[in-house]
């Protein structure tokens, strides 16, 4: 359970309404029962219920059971998608070990307003489900042109892996093998793809490495998971 509060052995946490209801009513936890809590900064703790009211569960932190894992340094940029596909993308990116996510507004992006809070809630739920202790950061959206202009100054030597269906030929493994253990970023386009001008601008950047995910056109949310899996298989876990 993610609880955004300082954690140390012996501390007592008072949970909010939603989490109290979840523990006391859904999981039917009672005083003396235990659960695992984390805050994304101090590792994971075994918490024991000292109060099981549906409105205000209290937990005493018995002991730390896992050290805080180092944050992932994989950056993931994605053109915002509509509603539940957006939720899906941030959940899968969390499960696949992304450290920082940033919505990138492109010419054909069909979504204007992003629900930052809803996306952050999805990220936390995914982190709870896949037991990743360092919760990925969601950065405010940025226009593709600004992302490119600011890249060297904000990302240093990090290479940007561009998933582009126009490169059906090259095998991703070959293109990625030159990256060895450099920190990487991944960029996935919108449902309508990148415009030709955007593709040209991206290709002209020395920090961009373009990969194909095969000869078929994948939906943007499919491409996200496929690209993250290819990166994990070739570059390895991204610490």
Q: Does 198 bind ligand SAM (CB under 6 A)?
A: no
Side-chain half-sphere of 61: how many Cα atoms within 13 Å?
24
Q: Distance (Å, rounded) from C-alpha 80 to C-alpha 140?
A: 12
Q: Does 105 bind ligand SAM (CB under 6 A)?
A: no
DSSP for 169-231, written as a single string: SS-HHHHHHTTTTS-EEEEE--TT---HHHHHHHHT-TTEEEE---SS---HHHHHHHHHHHH
Q: Token digits for 113?
A: 């307003």
The answer for residues whose C-beta is within 8 angstroms of residue 5's C-beta and 6 or more apart is 13, 39
Q: Does 186 bind ligand SAM (CB under 6 A)?
A: no
Minimum distance from residue 201 beta carbon to ligand SAM (Å): 14
- The smaller minimum CB distance to ligand SAM, of residues 107 and 165, is found at 165
The residue from 223, 225, 228, 235 that contacts ligand SAM (CB under 6 A) is: 223
Binding mask 143-182 for ligand SAM (x = CB under 6 A): --------------------xxx-----------------
- The smaller minimum CB distance to ligand SAM, of residues 57 and 163, is found at 163
Q: Does 82 bind ligand SAM (CB under 6 A)?
A: no
Q: Does 42 bind ligand SAM (CB under 6 A)?
A: no
The residue from 81, 220, 228, 231 that contacts ligand SAM (CB under 6 A) is: 220
Q: Does 185 bind ligand SAM (CB under 6 A)?
A: no
Burial of 64 (0-12, 13-18, 19+ CB in 10 A): middle
The residue from 132, 135, 213, 235 that contacts ligand SAM (CB under 6 A) is: 213
Q: What are phi and psi of 128, to 5 degrees?
A: -65, -45
Distances (CA, A) of 42 to 64, 135, 147, 208, 212: 9, 12, 32, 35, 39
The residue from 27, 130, 217, 233 that contacts ligand SAM (CB under 6 A) is: 217
Q: Does 191 bind ligand SAM (CB under 6 A)?
A: yes
Minimum distance from residue 202 beta carbon to ligand SAM (Å): 10
- The smaller minimum CB distance to ligand SAM, of residues 32 and 215, is found at 215
Q: Distance (Å, rounded) from C-alpha 182 to C-alpha 170?
A: 21
Q: Does 212 bind ligand SAM (CB under 6 A)?
A: yes
From the list 164, 160, 161, the residue with the least C-alpha distance to 212 is 164
Contacts with ligand SAM, residue ranges (CB under 6 A): 163-165, 188-189, 191-194, 212-214, 216-220, 223
């Amino acid at each position: 359970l993610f609880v955004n509060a300082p954690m140390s052995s012996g501390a007592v946490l008072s949970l909010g309404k939603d989490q109290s209801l979840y523990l006391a009513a859904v999981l039917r936890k009672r005083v003396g029962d235990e659960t695992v809590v984390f805050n994304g900064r101090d590792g994971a703790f075994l918490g024991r219920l000292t109060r099981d009211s549906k409105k205000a569960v209290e937990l005493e932190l018995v002991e730390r059971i896992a050290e805080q894992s180092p944050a992932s340094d994989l950056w993931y940029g994605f053109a915002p998608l509509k509603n539940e596909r957006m939720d899906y993308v941030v959940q899968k990116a969390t499960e696949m070990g992304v450290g920082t996510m940033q919505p990138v507004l492109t010419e054909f992006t069909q979504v204007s307003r992003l629900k930052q809070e809803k996306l952050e809630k999805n990220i936390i739920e995914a982190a709870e489900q896949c037991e990743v202790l360092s919760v990925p950061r969601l950065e405010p959206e940025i226009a593709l042109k600004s992302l490119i202009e600011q890249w060297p100054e904000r990302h240093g030597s990090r290479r940007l892996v561009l998933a582009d269906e126009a490169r059906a030929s090259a095998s991703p493994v070959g293109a990625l093998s030159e990256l060895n253990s450099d920190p990487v970023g991944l960029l996935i386009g919108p449902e309508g793809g990148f415009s030709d001008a955007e593709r040209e601008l991206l290709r002209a950047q020395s920090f961009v490495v373009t990969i194909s995910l095969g000869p078929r056109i994948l939906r943007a949310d499919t491409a996200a998971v496929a690209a993250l899996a290819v990166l994990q298989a070739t570059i390895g876990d991204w610490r």
